[in-house]
Structure 1
Amino acid sequence: MLEKHRQQLIIDILEKSQFASVRSLTQQLNASEATIRRDITKMAKRGEITKIRGGAESANKEKKKNQIASTSFSVDKTKQADTKRLIAKRAVELCSDADSIIINGGSSTYMMGEFLCSLQLNILTNSFVLANYITENSDNQVSLPGGEIYRDQGIILSSYESDTIENYRATMMFMGTPGIGEFGVMESDPLLIRSEQKLKKQTEKLVILADSTKLGQHSNFIFCPLSEVDILITDSNADKKLIQDFENLGIQVIIVPFATV
């Protein structure tokens, strides 16, 4: 990742949460502690952020509007990118021309766009970045729900009960997750869960896209129990015991190669 890009992401993270530790930034940006500390020092000298013991805080004390507890799309899409692309490609292989599908916003599902372009599908998505990509590069029919735009996550969310979602019916819903394990499919924010559960009601099968780093991970909230998951697509670095546990619960697990490059 370029230094300029990484430092802009640090600003975005701090404007959202006001504070972040060096350790947290290294995990979110997949960088070394030494690199993050250098970035913080440079940015603090320029007045872009405030350097404090163990981390940094935003120079802007007012939080952005429309914030939810979820990592930024621009941050997420840089993590395990090659592996996520293989997972996304395999997910699209489950689709056939004329299918109606739902795609939840996220970095893993966004990568489906490249492979969806060769198909003719009816797609409902709350990801405005994915919708834009598909409409510019394919003839797929794309529908968006009503709601507010959350720029950091690249999604549209509605706090209202009635919207266009209830008029749509799909064979499959594709979504990513910050973690999937014994407690179920995890999510980071109640507003995300509310929106995603509305989408899920309109579909026959739930397909989870989760690279091996997400397996066994916990988060603050549970989106749904494992009994509601039909298919899990992950990579060959996944823990074999966890895979067996998922299969024992009746989940079809599809494994793609882990991308080493």
Structure 2
Amino acid sequence: MLEKQRQQLILDILDESTFASVRELCDQLNASEATIRRDLNKLASIKKIRKIRGGAQVLESKTVANFKLSGSAFLVDKERNANTKRMIAKAAVEMCDDGESIIINGGSSTFMMAEFLVERRMSILTNSFVLAQELLENSQNQVTLPGGEVYRKQSIILSSFENDTTQNYHGSKMFMGSPGISEVGVMETDPLLILAEQKLRKRADKLIVLADSTKIGIKGSLLFCALSEVDTVITDSNANPKFLDSFRAKGINVIVVDACE
């Protein structure tokens, strides 16, 4: 991750939680303590933050409340289990045919699909502006974006209105990631995300969930959909077999790729 990106993420984290310890920032940004302390010193020197014992706090919040979403930043998630996510994304694209119309929800796992979509010729609706940019610059796929507000931290476009471009689109498959999937169902982190994603789900025949092994068996407080709405789960070989068997018992197609170190 570039220094500028990491420092912007530090500001985003502090803007949401007011205070963060050095250890918390290290964990969230997958960076060393020396790197985080160097970033904090630089941000403090230009009066972006206030350093305090053990961490830092924001000077003042400039983020409009309506523009906040719960959940991890895209740039942070993108670095976690990246090689395994890449193999999951490859398996997802292998499910697609040229000429097909599909929907790809924003997220770090689904973003990895871009590499394998480069040689395809498909119609793709996505609310991920980073995925859309990647496909527009490097492929001949037809790309459609929904209308709505841009959420920079998650790199997605969301609309709370029912009447937007998604209502005129139909896809054979919808691909999405999730912070957790268990016997309860597919979880999400924010009500606005659920609202936007459920609109996309209505426009697709099948739902394919991309979830590395760290997401399998994880429950949360917000439910996107029940397992009965899921057609396929793509995960890796480190996933708990008990949960994968329970998915299969409910008629879900489970694809397992080799986990990468």
What is the TM-score when the length of structure 1 is the normalising length? 0.90
Paired residue type of 1:210:
A
Question: The residue matched to 2:244 in structure 1 has which SS?
Answer: helix
In structure 1, runs of 5+ residues without a counterpart are none
- Write out per-residue CA displacement over residues 200-259 of structure 1, whole angstroms, 9 at most, x where no aligned residue: 001111000111111122333111111111111111111121211221222111111111
How far is the alpha carbon of 1:54 from its aligned partner? 5.4
State how 1:185-204 maps to structure 2 within 5 Å: 185-204=186-205
Distance between the aligned counterparts of 1:241 and 1:44, measured in 2?
48
Say whether the 8 Å CA contact 1:18–1:63 is kept in structure 2: no
Deviations 1:86-122 (CA, angstroms, capped at 9, x unpaired):
1111100000011110000111111101111111111
Q: Render the CA deviation track for 1:163-206: whole Å, top value 9, x for unaligned.
A: 11111111100001111112211111101100000000011110
Counterpart of 2:25 in structure 1 is: 25
Are the structure 2 counterparts of residues 39 and 138 from structure 1 closer, same or farther at C-alpha, using a change threshold of 3 Å? closer
Rounded to whole Å, the distance in 2 between the matches of 1:25 and 1:116 is: 34
Range moving further from structure 2, 44-53 or 108-117: 44-53
Q: Percent identity?
A: 60
Secondary structure of the residue that 2:160 maps to in structure 1? coil
Corresponding residue SS for 2:67: coil
Task: Give the AA of the match of 1:94.
Answer: M
Instruction: Please give the alpha-carbon distance, in whole angstroms, between the structure 2 residues aligned to 1:6 and 1:110.
Output: 19
Partner of 2:122: 121
Residue number in structure 2 paired with 1:143: 144
Residues 4-15 of structure 1 mapped to structure 2, 5 A cutoff: 5-15=5-15
Give the structure 2 partner of residue 233 of structure 1.
Answer: 234
Contact 1:189 1:220 in 2 (8 A): no
Tell whether 2:105 aligns with 1:111: no
Find the counterpart in structure 1 of residue 62 from structure 2.
62
Worse overlay, 58-67 or 153-162: 58-67
Rounded to whole Å, the distance in 1 between the matches of 2:178 and 2:21 is 23
User: Per-residue deviation at 1:141?
Assistant: 0.9
User: In structure 2, how many angstroms separate the alpha carbons of the residues matched to 1:246 and 1:227?
Assistant: 10
Q: In structure 2, what residue type is equivalent to 1:67? A: K
Contact preservation (8 Å) 1:49, 1:57: yes
Go from structure 1 to structure 2 and tell me whether the alpha carbon gap of 1:53 and 1:187 turns closer, same or farther (over 3 Å shift).
farther
Within-5 A mapping of 1:162-241? 162-241=163-242
1:67, CA displacement in angstroms?
1.6
Does the CA contact (< 8 Å) of 1:208 and 1:231 recur in 2? yes
Q: Does structure 2 retain, via aligned residues, the 8 Å contact 1:26–1:32?
A: yes
Matched residue of 2:98: which SS? coil
Task: Tell me whether 40-49 or 249-258 shows the greater mean CA deviation.
Answer: 40-49
CA shift digits 1:117-152 (9 cap, x unpaired): 111111111111111111111111111111111111
Name the residue aligned to 1:131.
132
Distance 1:247 1:198, change over 3 A: same
Q: What amino acid does structure 1 have at the position aligned with 2:29?
A: L
C-alpha displacement at 1:77, in angstroms?
0.8
Superposition RMSD in Å: 2.1
Give yes or no for contact 1:186–1:222 (8 Å, CA) kept in 2. yes
The CA deviation string for residues 24-78 of structure 1, in whole angstroms up to 9 with x for no partner, is 4333222456764665466446643223455432223332462211221111111
Larger deviation: 87-96 or 60-69?
60-69
2:259 maps to: 258
